[in-house]
Amino acid sequence: MTSTQDDVANVPVFDFMTRNVITIPESQTMKQASKLMYEYNIGSIVILKEGGGSNHDDNVSGSTTEKKEIPIPIGIVTERDIARTVGFAAKHSIFGDIPLSELMSKPLITIQPGASLKDAVVLMQQKDIRRLPIIDKDGRLEGIITEKDILRVVFKIFKKTIKDRGLISEGFDLLGFLGAE
């Protein structure tokens, strides 16, 4: 195994995840989720349990503690889920009113922020998924990593490797041609 392969294997997912994940409560409908996915130009949306869990934090103004609701991610809805719902929609009078709780993929498959990129790739391949929410030890959603994010990392490392080895010719830059710069 080369040092480049070692570097990729040990990169934490936290370094490449999308941090501002768009979420929606489980009581919302496919129509509402689809609208958010369209507005934000995203391919998935993480579903949160309503009510969530509670977390005790020290109150800044004194020694008492206050309860904070922690949004608990419980599922994910992807473009593919919505596309596959056409047959399912016959049960509902209005297609967009399908509850997300019936549509979402569950249980939610997740990984912790310190896990390596290699661990994420292996898990995604084993579970045949393209998006992997990043959840901290307290169950909070920290981000999400997708196949596209991983491909960006691979391209970046590939480009650096071919530059370091002098494999880019002066006349033609294949990566530039492909738009991978």
Confidence of residue 56 (pLDDT cuts 50, 70, 90): very low
Q: What average pLDDT does the chain have?
A: 79
Handedness of CA 89, 92, 93, 95 (dihedral sign): negative
Confidence of residue 22 (pLDDT cuts 50, 70, 90): very high
β 44-58/23-25 pair status: parallel
Mean predicted confidence (pLDDT) in 94-118: 87
Tens digits of residue pLDDT in 121-141: 999 999 999 999 999 999 999
DSSP H helices, the chain, are: 3-10, 30-40, 79-83, 100-103, 117-127, 147-164, 174-178
Task: Give me the domains of the chain, ranges plus CATH numbers.
Answer: 3-178 (3.10.580.10)
Taking the whole predicted model, whether its pTM rises above 0.75 is answered as no
